[in-house]
Amino acid sequence: MLKKKIKELLKEKPNTQAVVRGWVRTVRDQKSFAFIEVNDGSTLGNLQVIADANIPHYAEAMSKLATGASVVISGELVESPGKNQALELKAKEIRVLGTCDPAKYPLQKKRHTFEFLRTIAHLRPRTNTQGAVLRVRNALAFATHLFFQQRGFLYIQTPIITGSDCEGGGEMFRVTTLEKPDPEKDFFGKSAYLTVSGQLEGEIAACALSDIYTFGPTFRAENSNTSRHLAEFWMIEPEMAFADLKDNMECAEAYLKFCVRYVLEHCKEDLEFFDKFIENGLIGRLQHVANSPFAHIPYTEAISILKKSGKQFEFPVEWGIDLQSEHERYLAEEHCKKPVILTDYPTDIKSFYMRANTDGKTVAAMDILVPKIGEIIGGSQREERLDVLEKKIQDFGLKREDYWWYLELREYGSVPHAGFGLGFERLVLFTTGMENIRDVIPFPRYPGHAEF
CA 393 to chain centre: 32
Asked if residues 13 and 86 have their Cβ atoms less than 8 Å apart, the reply is no
Q: What are phi and psi of 211, to 5 degrees?
A: -125, 125
| 174 secondary structure, DSSP code | B
Q: Judged by CB, which is closer to Mn ion: 339, or 378?
A: 378
Binding span for ligand ATP by CB under 6 A among 67-75, 172-180, 387-395, 421-429 = 421-429
**Shortest distance, position 200 Cβ to ligand ATP, whole Å:** 13
Half-sphere exposure of 81 (CA within 13 A, CB side): 3
Specify the pairing of strand 70-79 against strand 33-39. unpaired
Specify the pairing of strand 362-370 against strand 374-381. antiparallel
Binding span for ligand ATP by CB under 6 A among 119-127, 200-208, 380-388, 415-423 = 415-423
Residues 322-381 that bind Mn ion (CB under 5 A): 378
Q: Judged by CB, which is closer to ligand ATP: 49, or 212?
A: 212
| 147 secondary structure, DSSP code | H
Of the residues 75, 198, 423, 444, which one makes contact with ligand ATP according to CB under 6 A: 423
What secondary structure does DSSP assign to 25-69, as a single string?
EEEEE-SSEEEEEEE-SSSSSPEEEEEETTSTTHHHHHHH--TT-
| Contact flags string 209-248 toward ligand ATP, x per CB under 6 A | -----------x--------xx--x-x-------------
370 binds ligand ATP, rule: CB under 6 A: no
**Shortest distance, position 224 Cβ to ligand ATP, whole Å:** 6
Residue nearest to ligand ATP (CB): 423
Reading phi first (left if > 0) and then psi (alpha if -120 to 50, else beta), residue 154 is in beta
Of the residues 131, 202, 371, 378, which one makes contact with ligand ATP according to CB under 6 A: 378
Q: Judged by CB, which is closer to Mn ion: 240, or 369?
A: 369
Interface residues with Mn ion (CB under 5 A) are 378
Q: Which residues bind ligand ATP (CB under 6 A)?
A: 220, 229-230, 233, 235, 375-378, 421-423, 425-426
